[in-house]
A and B are shown apart, each in its own frame.
Chain A
């Protein structure tokens, strides 16, 4: 009983920190999903390109990013960007250093691009070759064929796997706490340090993560159902 009351107590006491953490988790996740989707589709196009160098680059990129830990990638970007001369001004907004936030989003986007690329590529390749030929034979350009005929159909196959990837991103975003971004995991650490209670803050953020991911998975299921119905 006392554990439950301490749980409620801590939630109430640190509610603004926790809400702020949730906000940054969402900001990071949504940005990563958006950029990851754009770059992932481009990477998939490169991977299926006729030009050898593009194809080789995409292959090496995907294999390397899938074969190394996210944590390593986050540090590589965080320390690597300034070395490469990309200097992001350290403006602090809402308790979070912008340069760190941007490093975090960049690192996660680089990682997600590899996975989205594979999802998109397999989705596109699941579409019958006849669709491409049918479109080309009607005088469509290869670009139009890909973006207006093949990709919309592939989306139906891509969507469920992409939904999984979105949820994975939300969970993976907890790892950028290591470079000092005040998202949920970072807040849990902070609260633990202030309150000397290890369990409560972890349980609270676990619940918040779950509420976020579960809500999204419900929405995704709805959309999936709608997409299946609109097929005929």
Chain B
């Protein structure tokens, strides 16, 4: 479980500098700075409307930003023209899965590697089935997403994102749309994934997951990062009153 993250390495995989973002005149992110190291699992927590999801969506350029910079490896993504290229390296898992209902599970997973990355069909299929095994759904490869439960859909969505071999995986409230009894199966897939050394940013309301799996927890409210640190620093020794009040209600 214990893994080594090199915090001293001064080349983080993603570097956010003084990021701000507004919708028209409404500011949603204010002066956000955050470094993400390779292999790190970061949980982003906080009340609804605090800008957590927006922050995540800025990281693969699904949202345009109003100020500041986001660096992925050595490119500044808000000045980047080739967004599809960026998004093959920064994967995303959504709250509402966003599986394609007109394709089978296998085709959902194989589509982008074949069409976008131009990989060989046989290689992709092998990898797709391997991924389905790791999320425990290899028997569902030929069904359509509509016949799956929410938890199964989300596991397929994770497999689909992984099939692109991303360097970072962003999770936007992956368990918020699920029935309570299905949350566990998705979280355990994510936990296994974290142990493989995948760099993950997870916006979540699952405090147990944040505490147990995350290397670092970021607390956001009203567009600011109020506090960040190791899970125990946030959950047990929080300094900020707002953070304490929120966590008291959640735990």
Contacts and interface: CB of A to CB of B under 8 A. Distances in A.
A228 to B, nearest CB: 12
Interface stretch (B6-14, B95-103, B204-212, B237-245): B95-103
9 contacts: A128-B96, A130-B97, A131-B98, A134-B94, A134-B100, A137-B62, A138-B91, A140-B115, A153-B100
A149 interface: yes
Given A153-B101, A232-B146, A137 B92 contact: yes
Given A134-B94, A137-B60, A152 B115 contact: no
A231 B102 contact: yes
Contacts of A153: 100-102
A144 to B, nearest CB: 7
B87 interface: yes
Contacts of B84: 136, 139-141
A133 interface: yes
A64 B8 CA distance: 65
Interface size class, chain B: 20 to 34
Interface residues of A, number: 19
A130 B96 contact: yes
A131 B144 CA distance: 15
B29 interface: no
Given A133-B98, A140-B84, 15 more contacts: A130-B97, A133-B62, A133-B94, A134-B100, A135-B100, A137-B62, A137-B92, A137-B94, A137-B161, A138-B112, A144-B116, A153-B100, A153-B101, A231-B102, A231-B146
A34 interface: no
A139 B117 contact: yes
A136 B170 CA distance: 14
B87 A139 contact: yes
Interface string B69-100: 00000000000000111011001101011111
Contact of B115 (A128, A137, A148): A148
B161 A136 contact: no
Contacts of B146: 231-232
Interface string B91-128: 11010111111100000000110011100000000000
Nearest to A132: B98
B164 A231 contact: no
B25 interface: no
Contacts of B102: 152-153, 231
Contacts of A231: 101-102, 144, 146
A140 B112 contact: yes
B85 A139 contact: yes
Interface string B216-231: 0000000000000000
Contacts of B60: 137
B21 interface: no
B98 to A, nearest CB: 3
Interface in A216-232: 231-232
A142 to B, nearest CB: 8
A153 B98 CA distance: 13
A148 B102 CA distance: 11
B160 interface: yes
Nearest to A134: B98
Interface string A139-182: 11100100011001100000000000000000000000000000
Contacts of B116: 138-140, 144
Contacts of B99: 134
Given A130-B94, A133-B62, A133-B94, A139 B88 contact: yes
Contact of B87 (A130, A131, A138): A138
Contacts of B91: 137-138
Contacts of B85: 139
A133 B146 CA distance: 19
Given A231-B144, A232-B144, A136 B62 contact: yes
Contacts of B164: 138-139
A231 B99 CA distance: 14
B215 to A, nearest CB: 24
Contacts of A131: 98, 100
A137 B161 CA distance: 9
Contacts of A133: 62, 94, 98
A232 B112 contact: no
